[in-house]
Amino acid sequence: MRKLSIGLILLASASIAQSASQVTLKYDDGTGVSGELVGFDDGIFRIQASVGLIAIPAQDVSCIGAVCPEGTELQVAAAPVVLTSLDGNLRIAGDVIEFVDGEYVLATEIGEFRIDASLIVCEGEGCVPSSAPANEEPVSQEVFLVNGTTSIEGKLLGLEDGAYLIEVDQLGTLRVDANTFDCRGEACP
């Protein structure tokens, strides 16, 4: 979970630092390329991508981003969502292009994003229904980590590299060795 939070913070920082002319060009097969739109002439996109300056014919792709030339935008059914990280620190708004392999694929003003559904809370028309039955109470994330007379109580954020990530009031997020502590609670793996 810590890697997700750091990754989302870096993603947010990178998106703030990105140019206002950031786009994603998406092929019919679902693949695509992202970069800064530096020109669009005679039906040819010119974008500065991570591999350098590239030219792509408009008839081969759809454009995702605020600066897409008229008539080249990806046409998606209105499925707006707001995805919020589990810790609430990051929110991304966009339209759902597809939901595949447990990931939301979003068209946003700064291009396409793929976000693991298990790591976010989704709000909006385009949200994929949870697999839990509607009448079933959500599983509490509260757990107790116990080792002899030592116990730690908090919200389980995940299990990463053999350690529990647990959010503890007034202490923040702690990393606790899963081989040393027993986990007790509904959210325990």
The 10s digit of each residue's pLDDT in 59-98 is 888 888 888 888 887 776 667 889 888 877 888 888 888 8
Mean pLDDT, rounded, of the chain: 78
- Comparing 18-32, 86-100, 104-118, 142-156, the range with the smallest average pLDDT is 18-32
181 C-beta neighbours (distance < 10 Å), count: 20
pLDDT for residue 40 is more than 90: yes
pLDDT for residue 5 is more than 60: no
Mean pLDDT of 152-168: 84
pLDDT at 19: 59
